Amino acid sequence: AQTVTQSQPEMSVQEAETVTLSCTYDTSENNYYLFWYKQPPSRQMILVIRQEAYKQQNATENRFSVNFQKAAKSFSLKISDSQLGDTAMYFCAFMTARYGSRLTFGEGTQLTVNP
């Protein structure tokens, strides 16, 4: 079974600064995907970024980037130039590469961006 752990229940950052959210996971699989989802107060789950485990290069999406350390089973999210609209709950999630598999989520980190 896979597990995902987010050890930071809450974090805060000043607008325009950089913040890093941590995530670790446990799996015996070799092929898998990792995701960061954002859930603002509207409760809509929004995909922020994804990483394929077979790719060594870290994924980036505009101000969002990840630090994927496969051997350490670590997958952190860096948000640069934080904006007020980044205030949300952030979930790290895991999916095996098997056909049509489920998402396993971490507990979430509530990020608040302060003006």
Partner 1 sequence: DARVTQTPRDKVTEMGQEVTMRCQPILGHNTVFWYRQTMMQGLELLAYFRNRAPLDDSGMPKDRFSAEMPDATLATLKIQPSEPRDSAVYFCASGLAGYNEQFFGPGTRLTVL
Stretch that binds partner 1, among 13-21, 54-62, 77-85, 100-108 (CB under 8 A): 100-108
Which residues fall within 8 angstroms of residue 39, CB to CB, at 6 or more apart? 45, 46, 88, 89, 90, 91, 108
For residue 18, what are the CA distances in angstroms to 22, 52, 64, 90, 108? Answer: 13, 24, 10, 15, 19
56 binds partner 1 (CB under 8 A): no
83 binds partner 1 (CB under 8 A): no
21 binds partner 1 (CB under 8 A): no
41 binds partner 1 (CB under 8 A): no
Which residues would be at the binding site for partner 1 (CB under 8 A)?
Answer: 33, 42-47, 50, 52, 91, 95, 97, 99-100, 102-108
